[in-house]
Amino acid sequence: MSADILIINGRLFPESGSSDLVDNGFVAIRNGLIVDVGPMTDMTGYETGNLIDARDTLVMPGLINSHCHAAMTLFRGLADDLELAAWLNDHVFPAEARHVSPEMVYWCSKLAAAEMLLSGTTTVADGYFFEDKAARAFCESGLRSVAAHGVIDFPAPGVPDPSRNIEAAARYIGAWRNRDPLVTPAVFAHSPYTCSTETLKKAKMLAEENELLFFVHVAESQIEQSMIRDPWGETPVKHLDALGVLDERTVCVHCVWVDEEDLDILAGRNARVSICPQSHLKLASGYAPLSGMLDRSVKVGLGTDGAASNNGLDLFREMDMCAKLQKVRSLDPVAVKARDVLRMATKAGASVLGFDNRSGAIRKGYLADLVLVDLKKSNLQPFYSPDNLVYAAGGADVRDVIVDGKIVVREGHPLTIDLDETLFQVRKIANHLA
Amino acid sequence: MSADILIINGRLFPESGSSDLVDNGFVAIRNGLIVDVGPMTDMTGYETGNLIDARDTLVMPGLINSHCHAAMTLFRGLADDLELAAWLNDHVFPAEARHVSPEMVYWCSKLAAAEMLLSGTTTVADGYFFEDKAARAFCESGLRSVAAHGVIDFPAPGVPDPSRNIEAAARYIGAWRNRDPLVTPAVFAHSPYTCSTETLKKAKMLAEENELLFFVHVAESQIEQSMIRDPWGETPVKHLDALGVLDERTVCVHCVWVDEEDLDILAGRNARVSICPQSHLKLASGYAPLSGMLDRSVKVGLGTDGAASNNGLDLFREMDMCAKLQKVRSLDPVAVKARDVLRMATKAGASVLGFDNRSGAIRKGYLADLVLVDLKKSNLQPFYSPDNLVYAAGGADVRDVIVDGKIVVREGHPLTIDLDETLFQVRKIANHLA
């Protein structure tokens, strides 16, 4: 038999939930898929041009970032430690109005792609302006993406006339639908407080007509709650539900200020959720009620949000923060476990993004999106259990990354991205801001 | 003029609080001290055998970990996601009783030293059993330490007869006092609930006689609060105060469950504090009232605690977590700022550990404990301000480390520690546990 890539001698962590590590295992990859996996003793003869010796590494599923605004790497650290309103109105929005351009989105999304791949993320759900440039940056970088075109009822970069926002999204979808196996287009309506009911419904309809995902920020802050309650007399989640836009192809991002009824609605509609704990902390939005979601079997993924509000795109760090935060929130160290957040960043994240039973685990027939973690790092020893991936590992411990059956990071170096050129271009754009 | 080490062309962040970065600067080091620092344009001719080109790096003060149990790296990830009592009684204490030996403390402290140096920590305050082995591991590794001998009223590794615990600590101090410039011995009384009032007073007296620091865990958990309140009718802090052990040479570790009066006492006595946010989160202890401490000008440092309850020793990650946690706790994004936690991990930490005006900043006459952060990392660009050190950097972004005027890490590799041998020895010990 032949394999495009054959990984041997690795410690395998095939999926979260199964606590069993395979001490010495192999993975065979062909045509972008995992074709075989198991202990070395079960491996039959393979011919391959690409043998990876995974000794002293842990082979695990690639991480899935279910919410990001990749191009916002440009605004990383531009304005920290501020009130949300001041941060948005005095810094982020003006900087976006002045500096977001097709070129900016392309290069800053490429920087984000580098940061994500190097830290073990193999799939990202992104949403921004000029999203075609982001999609191009992702697929050139070899990063799998669900790349969503932003819809908002304000003049936006690339869509100066908000009355044409749905049209612009439709054009984007037409251009990217079935264009590249790495890119799935989608629609991102900004939020119930920046989109009219009409816009929300039309955006969802556009997504449905194309059988694509519909994203929306919802219930992020306490202020948003009152912005919806005052005119509509309901919570942001109930507002969306009344519009009929909540279903299994809708991803509700944030869901911090949701009550028990909201959680019941999300569960009842089988809507998907993405939470971004570090962004919620840094902007002091609050704590998403994760236990309440998991108790209801709501499918919840983990997102980094944009680098302006995090300020990094490392999902290992996000997992750590997520588990710890939920413990202290409830003063219960058992509240959310390492394996829960590992699932959120892999299998559950895959499910949120429409890759059910295709991604998020190392199984025969699954997409070949894999990460090799360097177990020789001083911060990862001893390695008694996969819990170390949450509480001790960081993105910098990632050695090799494979996406869609192609090696994109080797020994900590990106093979698909010219990092020097990318940094040069991003710095050039950043110099205009500083 | 001659310099043992001359750092040139670096971006300098001389100290927290001064927001000014020097865009292109130099640092000259001789006899373990910083002898000159400034912009390149001010540099006079230096002869040196050790020129470090710091282009594309940020040169900053080394980080100061004000609370650690280094040898507990052995227990990293051994038992996660458990109730505090189950964690301690069913896992940590039995494992310690069986596996703590002089050899274990030596090798596992060396692993911790590697992890700390590689992630930019240049000084650690440690407390454990067989502390002479820890002190030896630290000074061989070139890591500056305040190494405190543990005192507890139970049979402990190395001190099977608790009635001789003060005697054992005194012997340790005699052995390490003025022995090595990198090691300052100290006394660590475990806590008010594991040490009698007599033991607490004697331990403090021993420290005072030698003009050394006295550490004590205090007010870590809600349970501890009731363990002290029931017999003594007072809070843990008031209990210690009544014994007369709180002063500027006492470091109170944790201080999570402290009320306003306790904070006033800590401030009034000029006692020092070390908080360990990640450990407080993971064990669901709660939130230390940091703003209340800073408002009272209490000197507060940042600690990682042991790797069993964190599970890493990366102070960059600890800074990030600390700032973010305080924001969400108060739902105020301005609550604790990046520069506040940078100060805690540098200048304030130095002050907590008795290095006032000698460490924690890049100034003439200060100890030459420095870190070079690699600014070419994708997660650190753009770099508008030192806030990135808190919200975007991780220990893995550290390129070079200098302690006491000696290069201990170069290009991410430890020069003073045989990491392969250390990992081999630690794994050998860990195999008995797993």
* Cβ contact A427–B286 (<8 Å): no
Task: Check residue A16 and give its pLDDT.
Answer: 85
Residue % of chain B over a pLDDT of 90: 89
Q: Cα(A395)–Cα(A411) distance, rounded to whole angstroms?
A: 13
Q: Cα(B201)–Cα(B189) distance, rounded to whole angstroms?
A: 10
pLDDT tens-digit map of A37-57: 999 999 999 999 999 999 999
- Average pLDDT for B293-317: 96
Q: Cα(A2)–Cα(A302) distance, rounded to whole angstroms?
A: 36
Helices (H) then strands (E): counts for chain A: 16, 19
Task: Check residue A330 and give its pLDDT.
Answer: 85
- Average pLDDT for B214-232: 93
Nearest-Cα distance to chain A for B141, in Å, is 14
* Cβ contact A384–B434 (<8 Å): yes
- A-B C-beta contacts closer than 8 Å: 217
Task: Check residue B16 and give its pLDDT.
Answer: 85
Task: Check residue B19 and give its pLDDT.
Answer: 62
Structure tokens at B430: 């860990």
Q: Which residues pair with B150 in a beta bridge?
A: B188
Least confident of A19-33, A243-257, B198-212: A19-33
DSSP A384: -
In CATH, the number for domain A63-352 is 3.20.20.140
* DSSP H or E stretch at residue B105: helix B102-118
Q: How many residues does chain B have?
A: 434
Q: Cα(A15)–Cα(A17) distance, rounded to whole angstroms?
A: 6
Cα B338 to the center of its chain, rounded Å:
18
Exposed, middle or buried by CB within 10 Å (0-12, 13-18, 19+), for A420?
Answer: exposed
pLDDT tens-digit map of B346-368: 999 999 999 999 999 999 999 99
* Residue A18 confidence (pLDDT) above 90: no
The topology under which CATH files domain B2-61+367-414 is: Urease, subunit C; domain 1 (2.30.40)
Task: Check residue A19 and give its pLDDT.
Answer: 62
Cβ atoms of residues A336 and A294 within 8 Å: yes
Q: Cα(A433)–Cα(A162) distance, rounded to whole angstroms?
A: 26
Q: pLDDT band for A329, please (50, 70, 90 cuts).
A: confident
* Residue A20 confidence (pLDDT) above 80: no
Task: Give the closest of B81, B111, B281 to A328, CB-based.
Answer: B281
* Cβ contact B80–A321 (<8 Å): no
Q: pLDDT band for B17, please (50, 70, 90 cuts).
A: confident
Nearest-Cα distance to chain A for B354, in Å, is 28
Classify strands B406-410 and B121-128 as parallel, antiparallel or unpaired. Answer: unpaired
Radius of gyration of chain B measured on its C-alpha atoms: 21
Work out the mean pLDDT of chain A and round it to a whole number.
96
**Chain A residues close to B13, C-beta within 8 Å:** none
CA dihedral over B237, B240, B244, B246, signed as positive or negative: negative
Residue % of chain A over a pLDDT of 90: 89
The residues spanned by each domain of chain B are: 2-61+367-414, 63-352
What is the per-residue DSSP string for A226-258? Answer: HHHHHHHSS-HHHHHHHTT--STTEEEEE--S-
Q: Cα(B95)–Cα(A53) distance, rounded to whole angstroms?
A: 34
Task: Check residue B111 and give its pLDDT.
Answer: 98
Q: At what angle do helices B315-330 and A315-330 cross, to 10 degrees?
A: 50
Task: Check residue A83 and give its pLDDT.
Answer: 84
In CATH, the number for domain A2-62+366-413 is 2.30.40.10
Q: Cα(B6)–Cα(B34) distance, rounded to whole angstroms?
A: 10
**Chain A residues close to B21, C-beta within 8 Å:** none
* Cβ contact A282–B333 (<8 Å): yes
Task: Give the closest of A282, A391, A396 to B311, CB-based.
Answer: A391
* Residue B387 confidence (pLDDT) above 90: yes
Nearest-Cα distance to chain A for B277, in Å, is 10
Instruction: ipTM value, please give it.
Output: 0.95
